[in-house]
Amino acid sequence: MTSVLVLNGPNLNLLGTREPGVYGAQTLEDVETLCRNVGKELGVDIDFRQSNHEGVLIDALHDAGAAVARGESLGVVFNAGAYTHTSVALHDAIKGAHVPLIEVHISNVHAREEFRHHSYISPVASGIIVGLGVAGYEWALRALVAQRTTQA
């Protein structure tokens, strides 16, 4: 069965307790359950990960690119958290690994602080889902599957 990597960056392990007015009350475990349920519906395995460490995220992106090249994966759903706005290294990893990727943000980053308006991920993403809460993960999974269907 084909897989999708759902990758989460720094502080997303604090979902449900960190600024619930911005990010909601659902936990990262709730997001994982949502993704696994949608994955079952769509016929894809979900590899769900979170790290607060940039290098771990980069390694996961490299591995995902290799899995896509082998035909084992459709790509990545990625919420890079604050690294979205700071990490050229993540940009380069996505581009270098040739990995199809949907960028996800739970909050509407464009309605927040000015520094959150810029993304180093967006220029190398296949698509971007912003401000739909944790439902954005579901739509990102559906988008990756739809891209496979469109390209087949």
108 has binding-site annotation: no
d(CA 71, CA 23) in angstroms, rounded, equals: 34
Q: Is 62 a catalytic residue?
A: no
107 has binding-site annotation: yes
Annotated catalytic residue: which of 23, 83, 120, 137? Answer: 23
Helix (H, G, I), strand (E, B) or coil at 121: coil
118 has binding-site annotation: no
Ramachandran angles phi, psi of 129, nearest 5°: -125, 120
117 has binding-site annotation: no
Helix (H, G, I), strand (E, B) or coil at 102: strand
Nearest to 124 by CA among 81, 90, 79, 80: 90
85 has binding-site annotation: yes
CA atoms within 13 A on the CB side of 144: 32
Annotated catalytic residue: which of 62, 83, 91, 105? Answer: 105
Q: Is 120 a catalytic residue?
A: no
73 has binding-site annotation: no
Residues making up the annotated binding site are 79, 85, 92, 106-107, 116
Residues making up the annotated binding site for substrate are 79, 85, 92, 106-107, 116
Catalytic residue set: 23, 105
